[in-house]
Chain A
Amino acid sequence: MVFFLDDELQSSEVKALEAHLTECEGCRELFENERRFLTALRGFKPLNPAPPELRAQVERILSNGPPAYSAPAELRVRIMRTMSKFGASTTELIGSRGALLVIGLVTIVLLVGVWYAAKKGNAEPSPPSDFAMMAVNNHQRHLRGQLPLETTADAPEEISNWFAGKVPFRVTLPNYQESSGQEKLYELEGARLVGYKTDYAAYVAYSMRKRPISLVMTSDAVARPSGGEQIVSNGITFHYDAINGLKVISWSDRGLTYALVSDLEERGQQSCILCHQGTKDQDFIQELKPR
């Protein structure tokens, strides 16, 4: 009987049921009872209409359409396998430079408060980039527990491997704390994909003394940093912004654009020592200067 109301009966079965209902009052009452219930229930569609802001956002996603060229996942995997064969030296080079950059960036998060205080009252900085705003938005959602991590691996290599095939760029995270032999001061919490324009960006969650830090990465063909206070180091321009009470630093290097978000409060070079005790890191810190 319910199958009939769900349009799941074959025509011969429908006829048989109709014939039975004609003759059986008890079954007819049950049938009518069920029919009224389902008819009423189905009249409530849609139960939760989409809010207008969501509709606008989805329209933007759909209007941008798919990427002009989107390599199939299998091709991406084959290419990465091929690169890894060449790539011991290339990977190491990317890995070491990448490690130095991310190490320096965590330091910059601690340092920029000093420069911001010094620059306060001078010329007003230009507004932050859309990418920085997105990074802040996702950091805030992470703080509210509204951004569940898709992987909770705590090893940089596992995180990097998780992103393989999911984003059209190579995500390499440093493992410098263990490599430098120092005490572990920050924790890798996990990672996930976050939407940005018509594709995904890589979101990586850290914590330092239980304070969350978010790192968002995407291809520099998709986003470029802009605005804010600018700091030059090693030929890279770092853009510092304060958005909604959070510190954001964004930069581009080797085909990727990064945004690092935190609310850490340390000031000055002393704060750098929290994370970096190796001589190489201190030299890097010394080079930082405002533009």
Chain B
Amino acid sequence: MGEASTRNTGFSGAALEHLDALYGFAMVLTRDRAEAEDLVQETYLRAVRAFGSLMPDSNLKSWLFAIMRNIWLNQLRHVRSGPQFVELDAEEGNRAQWLDRVSNDPHALYVSKLEREEVRAAIGRLPHLYREIIVLRDLEGFSYQQIAAILECPAGTVMSRLGRAREKLRRLLGDLRTPSARTAQVN
């Protein structure tokens, strides 16, 4: 097998590993299953065409995410009526059962379908900028610098936006307890 073919095979295998992550990010961006699938396919098509320009020491996953986000932004620029990014008020007073369970037993991360749906719904209710940064950092594990490159913003913006996003997500998931109140309950 020639060098080019070997590299192709290696690229294909490595790229496919990130399919779930890319689809999850596409769902966050588009909030529509059909559009997300279309976005994923376009991302891989462009990646296949452009992978020759990928430097050997580059991070493939962040490269793929950057391609996807650029495709999506380009589509938004040309759509007559783009998605409406609405600031949602946090729902106060709703407790998620999984948060209770985690609070009392941090080692018992029991993930049920219902809990996953709660988290998915809460993330879906975040404003768009918060939604994507939560996924990039807390679900996909990108560093602040990698996130800054994907979002094309300063690392400082990543840090501050991430903090606000997490706070809003906590409110949506119903974590209203103060640390002292939680300590009192545990004791």
Do A and B bind?
yes
> Which A residues form the contact surface with B (CB < 8 A)?
2-3, 6-8, 26, 29-30, 32-33, 35-51, 54-55, 57-59, 61-67, 70, 141, 144, 146-152, 190, 192-193, 195, 198-200
Which residues of chain A are near B80, meaning CB under 8 Å?
Answer: 152
Which residues of chain B are near A47, meaning CB under 8 Å?
Answer: 24, 27, 116, 119-120, 123, 135, 139
B49 contacts A67, CB within 8 Å? yes
Pairs of residues from A and B, 6 with the lowest C-beta to C-beta distance, nearest first: A50-B23, A62-B12, A29-B179, A46-B20, A148-B79, A48-B24
A58 contacts B16, CB within 8 Å? yes
State the main secondary structure of chain B at its contact with A. helix
Q: Does B61 sit within 8 A of A, measured CB to CB?
A: no
B19 contacts A55, CB within 8 Å? yes
Bound Cα distance A54, B32 (Å): 14
Contact-residue size bin, chain B (C-beta under 8 Å from the other chain):
35 or more
With A30-B179, A33-B182, A54-B40 already in contact, the answer to whether A149 and B139 are too (CB < 8 A) is: no
Looking at the complex, which one of A3, A65, A148 makes contact with B12 (CB distance below 8 Å)?
A: A65
Which residues of chain A are near B98, meaning CB under 8 Å?
Answer: 40
Q: Mark interface residues in B19-59 (1 if CB within 8 Å of A CB, else 0).
A: 11111100100001111111011101100110110000000
A63 contacts B12, CB within 8 Å? yes
Looking at the complex, which one of A30, A44, A67, A146 makes contact with B32 (CB distance below 8 Å)?
A: A146
CB distance from B81 to the nearest CB of A (A): 10
With A38-B138, A150-B74, A198-B45 already in contact, the answer to whether A6 and B99 are too (CB < 8 A) is: no
B24 contacts A62, CB within 8 Å? no
Bound Cα distance A57, B120 (Å): 25
A42 contacts B139, CB within 8 Å? yes
A149 contacts B79, CB within 8 Å? yes
B78 contacts A195, CB within 8 Å? no
Please list 11 pairs of residues, one from A and one from B, whose beta carbons are closer than 8 Å in the complex, sorted by A's number: A29-B182, A36-B102, A39-B109, A41-B134, A44-B139, A48-B120, A49-B24, A54-B37, A58-B16, A67-B49, A146-B32
B169: nearest chain-A partner, CB-CB: A41
Q: Kindly identify, within residues 133 to 166 of chain B, every residue whose CB is under 8 Å from any CB belonging to chain A.
A: 134-135, 137-141, 143-144, 159, 162-163, 166
CB distance from B45 to the nearest CB of A (A): 5
Which residues of chain B are near A54, meaning CB under 8 Å?
Answer: 19, 23, 37, 40-41
Q: Does B170 sit within 8 A of A, measured CB to CB?
A: yes
With A44-B111, A50-B23, A61-B48 already in contact, the answer to whether A146 and B38 are too (CB < 8 A) is: yes
B182: nearest chain-A partner, CB-CB: A33
With A26-B179, A36-B102, A45-B139 already in contact, the answer to whether A61 and B41 are too (CB < 8 A) is: yes
A151: nearest chain-B partner, CB-CB: B78
Q: Does B183 sit within 8 A of A, measured CB to CB?
A: yes
With A26-B179, A141-B34, A149-B79 already in contact, the answer to whether A62 and B48 are too (CB < 8 A) is: yes
Bound Cα distance A38, B37 (Å): 28
Bound Cα distance A84, B154 (Å): 42
Q: Does B185 sit within 8 A of A, measured CB to CB?
A: no
CB distance from A215 to the nearest CB of B (A): 18
Which residues of chain B are near A42, meaning CB under 8 Å?
Answer: 138-139, 141
